[in-house]
Structure 1
Amino acid sequence: MAPVTDRRERQREALLEAAERTIAAKGLDGLKARELAREIGCAVGAIYNLVADLDELILRVGSRTLARLDRALQEAEARPLPGSSDPAVEQLVAVALAYCRFARANLPLWRTLFEHRMAEGSTVPEWALSEQMTLFRHIALPLASLMPQAGSADVALFTRTMFSAVHGVLALGLDEKLVAVPVAELERQIETLVRLICTGLLAGEATRARR
């Protein structure tokens, strides 16, 4: 007979997979404990022996989504686009476009990363925050190359600014309640935005170097 811990881990994995499938098919609002319990063959109360609450379950699903996003961005970094004299610019463009394509291909799961709100009185655990922050390295490292005279705090701040800019354009472009932007045009707009930001940064660095 398998140890209790092994059975529990298998059941926990089954729960995460069921929750991930549900969110991918129905969105966050479609996630119901009773339906999940029925799918994995356990009582509703048994779910809370596997995760503390639905908040943790959603965060764990989000962790799986972030891991896949991380791999997609790593692959994009390994294949920077040709064209600019500065490879950091092409790396940032490649990462931004990979982010766009991942969001389109995993829309409900991607939206859940930003739409989920913890229950009142609860805070996002440190492990979840750490996973989110780790992904910023895909922006911060090439930005640091473009901003050699900037301190780490300035690079970190501008990393968030660039992510917010790209994410905002993407979120609005994919919002069907507004006027969804055609895929090719959305990617063109995102690429243009990133290139304009990089052009401004390079110009600023050149100006400072001449002083």
Structure 2
Amino acid sequence: MAGVQKARREETRRQILAAAAALMEEGGLRALQIRAVAERAGYSIGSVYKHFADLDALVVAVNSGTLVRIRDAMTAATEGVSAPLERLKALAATYLRFARDNVNLWRGLFDHHLPGGKSIPEEHRQENVVLLSFIGREIHALDPGLDENALAARTRTCFAAVHGVVAISLEDRFVGLADDTLPAEMDFLVERLAGH
């Protein structure tokens, strides 16, 4: 009996989370409201709060799911690619493609900020660490002499540079790159960041 109840709780949580992710995907962070999630999932507002303490917890859970999707896409994109520089290019291209194809989910990762005093859950922090490790592994292969601190700094710099180009371009800023030039310029950026 306890196993059945646990399975039901997990299924309810999964459905609530799926409804929340769908709402964010459709309308961005502003569309993610507890009442709307409850209606979409077919549960009461109380049921949503039973599984997620507040809206921030729900947003973090959706964002964790988005990070998992990015991780899975990056894993698939680098399978069978052996050269570290080509793997870095594949990671950057995958990040760009994910952001383009899932712009509201992607923006949700950066637009949501926990209120003061609340810390990021460890599981969510680890999802971010895993994504950075994809980059760090290739940078280490290209420059094995970097110590741990230098590698961490270079990894974050590379991510920030690629993210910045993607963000500016997706926001249609004046300095953003057009869709037809963006992939080639992304390769150029990665090559320079990697010292090639």
Question: Is the contact between residue 96 and residue 166 of structure 1 (CA under 8 Å) also seen in structure 2?
Answer: yes
In 2, Cα distance between equivalents of 1:132 and 1:199: 25
Distance 2:38 2:169 in 1: 36
Amino acid at match of 2:92: A
Aligned-pair CA distance for 1:123? 1.5
Instruction: Summarize deviations over 1:25-58 as a string: whole Å, max 9, x none.
Output: 0000111111111222222122110111111111
CA distance in 2, matches of 1:153, 1:119: 29
CA separation in 1, counterparts of 2:193 and 2:37?
Answer: 45
Structure 1 runs of 4+ with >6 Å offset = none
| Residues 71-120 of structure 1 deviation map (CA, whole Å, 9 limit, x = unaligned) | 11112212439xxxxx2111111111111111111111011111111133
**1:186 CA displacement:** 1.5
1:151-162 equivalences in 2 (<5 Å): 151-162=147-158
Q: Where does 1:1-211 land on structure 2 (aligned, <5 Å)?
A: 3-80=4-81, 87-176=83-172, 178-179=173-174, 181-199=177-195
Amino acid at match of 1:162: C
Q: Which has the larger radius of gyration?
A: 1
Give the deviation of 1:16 after TM superposition. Answer: 0.4
Q: Quick one: which amino acid aligns to residue 185 of structure 2?
A: Q
How far apart in 2 are the matches of 1:79 and 1:3?
41
TM-score, scaled to structure 2 = 0.92
Alignment partners' CA distance in 2, 1:148 and 1:32 = 47
Aligned-residue offset at 1:126: 1.4
Structure 2 gaps of 5+ residues are none
Identity of aligned residues (%): 35
Count of residue correspondences: 194
TM-score by structure 1 length?
0.86
**2-structure distance, mates of 1:187, 1:79:** 20
Q: Is the 8 A contact 1:79 1:94 kept in 2?
A: no
The alpha carbon displacement at 1:156 in A equals 1.2
Quote the Cα distance in structure 2 between the aligned partners of 1:88 and 1:38.
Answer: 47
Unpaired runs of 5+ in structure 1?
82-86, 201-211
Say which SS state the counterpart of residue 11 (structure 2) adopts. helix
Distance 1:121 1:141 in 2: 33
